[in-house]
Amino acid sequence: MNLLKTGSILRRLLIIIPVVVGLILVSLFMPAQRLSIEGIGMLSLETTVTLSVGYEVASANPGWVSPTGFVDGGGVWTNEPLAYDEDTLTFAYVICPNGWSDYLELTIAEITCDKVQLWMGRVNTQVTDVEVDVYYSSAWDNIYTGPIVVGSFQEFAIGSEQSVTAMRIRFFASKASRQADIYEADFNEVSLVPDITNTPTSKAFGTVSESTDYWSTVTNPPTWPLDDAECFFTVTNSSGAAVDIAIRAINFGGGV
């Protein structure tokens, strides 16, 4: 009988109460694709609480990505979008003079890239060489000039990881009116290690009461939308890449 009474008292003391965690200023150098905030925990009556903030990051899978546009400055290329349609049976082509053709520039939104690849072809063996440049740091960098590989991908290393926005290609023929083809072109996107920080890392609310909302920086519900003065936590993405961030209220602590 005494055990039953003791259990009843404990059940009355343990009360789940809401703690409102809404005042978080997210300051991201690159835009996040998703931001979610969750509150998790069971608090007992008259408990002192510390609120901790953590995060989870999900980056896009790196690897070969196709260009998204082109520039044919000389207007001499044909079927330019077929150079990046992810089909090695279709191609863009140029008719070379006796010498170097005009460039075909293939563009993409800025990515961190360490190499590119081309699947090339030719109608005549007099098309012998290819020149490949990539664009970063406001300038073109020649990463390859030499013989072409026909019928399979040929990779061209940049030599370092760079923020690349384009590549350009031209062909050399030893005789005029010779056709050179680009069946497929890709950039290799490099995965970045996320660099996420949150300041401060916790919030002590003090002694709390049941059925009461608690705000980080104000005593009353704030005005909406929030302004910076009403925010408490700052989460910063310094990794230079878009990430998904999940913020949770964790590590509730304190006692009766």
Nearest-angstrom CA–CA distance, 105 and 6: 79
Strand partners, 127: 173
d(CA 127, CA 20): 69
Residue type, 46: E
pTM of the model: 0.57
- Report CA-CA distances (Å) from 143 to 35, 43, 100, 140, 167: 39, 61, 17, 9, 10
Cα angle 57-60-64, degrees, rounded to a multiple of 5: 155
Tell me the pLDDT band of 183, cut-offs 50, 70 and 90. Answer: very high
Name which residue leads in pLDDT, 115 or 10.
115
Per-residue HEC secondary structure of 74-128 comes to CCCEECHHHHHCCCCCCCEEEEECCEECCCEEEEEEEEEEEEEEEEEEECCCCEE
Lowest mean pLDDT among 19-23, 33-37, 41-45, 138-142: 19-23
Asked if 126 and 95 touch (Cβ cutoff 8 Å), the reply is no
Strands 244-250 and 35-39, bridge-based pairing = parallel
* Residues in contact with 6: Cβ distance below 8 Å, sequence separation at least 6, in sequence order: none
First to last CA, the chain: 25
Tokens of 116: 């590119």
- pLDDT tens for each residue of 224-239: 777 777 777 787 877 6
Residue-wise pLDDT for 199-212, tens only, equals: 877 777 777 777 77
How far is residue 45's CA from residue 62's CA, in Å, rounded to a whole number? 49
CA 77 – CA 71 distance, rounded (Å): 10
Least confident window among 4-8, 31-35, 41-45, 72-76: 4-8
Residues of the chain above pLDDT 90, percent: 49
Residue 175 vs residues 101, 121, 169, 171, 179: alpha-carbon distances, Å:
12, 16, 19, 12, 10
88 has a pLDDT exceeding 70: yes
Q: DSSP letter for 29, please.
A: S
Please tell me the least confidently modeled range out of 14-18, 165-169, 175-179: 14-18
Summarize the confidence of residues 138-157 as an average pLDDT.
97
Q: Strand 63-65 vs strand 178-189: parallel, antiparallel, or unpaired?
A: antiparallel
Residue 158, pLDDT above cutoff 90:
yes
CA gap 123, 91 in Å, rounded: 12
Q: Where are the domains of the chain?
A: 14-59+193-250, 63-189
Count the residues in the chain.
256
Question: Among 13-22, 57-66, 164-173, where is mean pLDDT lowest?
Answer: 13-22
| 80-89, 145-154, 195-204: least confidently modelled range | 195-204
Q: What is the CATH number of domain 63-189?
A: 2.60.120.260
The pLDDT score that the predictor gives to residue 45 is 44
What mean pLDDT, rounded, does the chain reach? 77
Range scoring the smallest mean pLDDT among 55-69, 111-125, 178-192: 55-69
Whole-number pLDDT of residue 5: 31
The CB-side HSE value for 98 (13 A sphere, CA atoms) comes to: 2
For 2-33, the pLDDT digits (tens) are 333 323 322 322 333 343 333 334 433 334 33
CB count within 10 Å of CB 211 equals 7
pLDDT at 155: 97
Closest CA to 167 of 149, 150, 146, 182: 182
